[in-house]
Amino acid sequence: MKLEELCLFEVDISVPVQQFRVEYTLVEKGGLPFVPEFLLRLLKVSALLPFDIARFFGFTPKEVSSALLPFLQQGELTIADDGRVTLTQKGLRLFSGGDEVPVVKGRKEYRKSFTFDLLTYSFMEQKKYRLDAPRRSVVLSADSVVRAESTQSAERAFQRHLAKIYKSGELCSYSDESDAPELYKVSQVRKDKDSYIRIVESYCLDLGTMNYGFSEQEGLPELEAYISARSQKLAGLLGRSNLDSLLAFADRVGDRHTLDLLDAGELDLTQVAQVSAVASHLGRDAIEPIYGALQLTRNWDRVEKLLSKHAKRLAKETANASKVMTWLAPSAHDLWGKCSRHGQALSAFASAGTFNTNGNERRVFSPRVLIPLSSACDKQAQRRAFIECKEAESILHGFIESNILSGLEIIILTDSFAVLLYHVVQPEQHPVPVPVGFITEDKQMVRRIEAALEDRLAEYTEGNVPRYQGPLSPADAARKR
């Protein structure tokens, strides 16, 4: 990512790959042992009688015969009418390109594993990509026909990408670009396993040009096919434009900062660039703007400072019980938590405010992560939450989705602080949500946000079902309807 880029959203893309065991034979160039090499170099200078060769090397007549015989049999040397030993045209070709040292070709068999993606059968270098599980990522899929014919496709891909494989150092024990080996034959291709490679994509705003897009990366699978597959998958997970619900919540809590950002009916990226690192004070509600996903390092560092600050403060108030701290997940799109950083953030949140005093554990926070459900019977969402939020599985709570809360991500500690992010979804402009919002420790603003959240959670939905469903159980999530 460039220094002048402001990362707004990060998403991990899992590309399906297969690893194959390939048995193949290469025709490689190599040097000769000391005596045969200097014998050929001597004869390149001048044809010689066997007697002269014996005198030069200090050999007996029998030893000279043994040294000459292999080259005579291979047609690289011949005996002229005058009895002199001379190089043939074939023998002269051993000194390719005018080299002073003869080079011979030989066949060598190999058995190695290579990885190809299933989108276009691009070669995936081991030093650039490691095989990974697709957990917490957007998973691209491969056609069933492609999988069924993968062995034949892998053999063709191996031959097509031979030069690239050689340059990577995975083909054989050397990778001199000026001396590439020739492929003699492929004996067998056998599929070892299915897996994925993970590509971390950063959606950024270029602060210089005010253009936005995914940050450029080197070494991606064949770009056009990958981008097409990525775009189609993200489009299916993004959801509908949600400005109306975001504006309604901002108006409810008196958030002039966000109302101004969305005033034109779309996110004003110019304002984002101008105030991305500047605190803003709007009336009595002191806020610090925050731009981009909460899990981004620059943003999560600010959250952790808040957690530490208030944990230490509450630890001194020994008479008080632990305070409820809530992390509300958005439901306006299906891209929340689709990055490896998400697990680290969940772990930090779940363990925040825990102190050990004289061997006794004390918690000053009572954390909960609110997971949106389409209904009280939404077992699929519950199972997904226990997989993707494993680090916080003991504090997962469920609530039935609400339109006004759908685009919000909130971390709030009662009477202490609030982090409010609006996940702006505009499919016609951005392929991913663009989170914008603020951090505040202003108690009036914190109470307004908490009241708006708790009022919704206290509602009853259709069929007189409470919106807040309480703690989630792994056993219930695993039970099918």
pLDDT digits (tens, 9 = 90+) for 74-113: 898 999 999 999 999 888 888 876 667 887 777 889 999 9
On the question of pLDDT at 347 being above 50, the answer is yes
Q: What is the pLDDT of residue 175?
A: 62
Closest CA to 329 of 426, 423, 257: 423
Residues β-bridged to residue 437: 290, 421
Report pLDDT digits (tens) over 299-327. Answer: 999 999 999 999 988 888 765 678 899 99
Give exposure, 327-338, as e/b (b: 16+ Cβ within 10 Å): bbbbbbbebbbb
Q: Is 1.10.150.120 the CATH number for 32-102?
A: no
Residue 172 has pLDDT above 90, yes or no: no
**In angstroms, rounded to a whole number, what is the distance separating the alpha carbons of residues 200 and 188?**
34
Cα–Cα distance measured from residue 438 to residue 217, given in angstroms and rounded to the nearest whole number: 30
Q: Among 56-70, 200-214, 395-409, which range has the highest average pLDDT?
A: 395-409
Query: Is the pLDDT assigned to residue 12 strictly greater than 90?
Result: yes
Indicate whether this model's pTM tops 0.95: no
In this structure, are strands 396-400 and 182-206 parallel, antiparallel, or unpaired?
Answer: unpaired
Using DSSP's 3-state secondary structure scheme, residue 325 falls into: strand
- The domain locations on the chain are 11-25+107-200, 32-102, 239-478
Residue with tokens 């995975």: 170
Q: What is the band of 283 on the pLDDT scale with cuts at 50, 70, 90? A: very low
Q: Is the pLDDT assigned to residue 277 strictly greater than 70?
A: no
* Cα(369)–Cα(384) distance, integer angstroms: 14
What number is the average pLDDT over the span 424-428? 95
Fold of 239-478: Endonuclease; Chain A (3.30.870)
Residue 355: pLDDT above 80?
no
Phi–psi pair at 247, nearest 5 degrees: -65, -35
Q: Answer positive or negative: Cα dihedral of 376, 380, 381, 382.
A: positive
Band the pLDDT of 479: cuts 50, 70, 90.
low
The dihedral through the CA atoms of 354, 392, 441, 300 has a sign that is: positive
Mean pLDDT over 182-204 rounds to 93
The pLDDT of residue 237 is 96
pLDDT for res 70: 87
Question: How many angstroms separate the Cα of 251 from the Cα of each of 245, 268, 402, 430, 439?
Answer: 10, 18, 17, 24, 17
Q: What is the mean pLDDT of the chain?
A: 88
Extended beta strands in 54-156, E state: 77-79, 85-87, 104-117, 123-124, 131-132, 138-139
Which of 81-90, 104-113, 181-190, 430-439 has the highest average model confidence (pLDDT)?
A: 430-439
Q: What's the rounded mean pLDDT across residues 175-188?
A: 79
Residue 247 has pLDDT above 60, yes or no: yes
Q: How far apart are CA 460 and CA 457, in angstroms?
A: 8
Residue 448 has pLDDT above 70, yes or no: yes
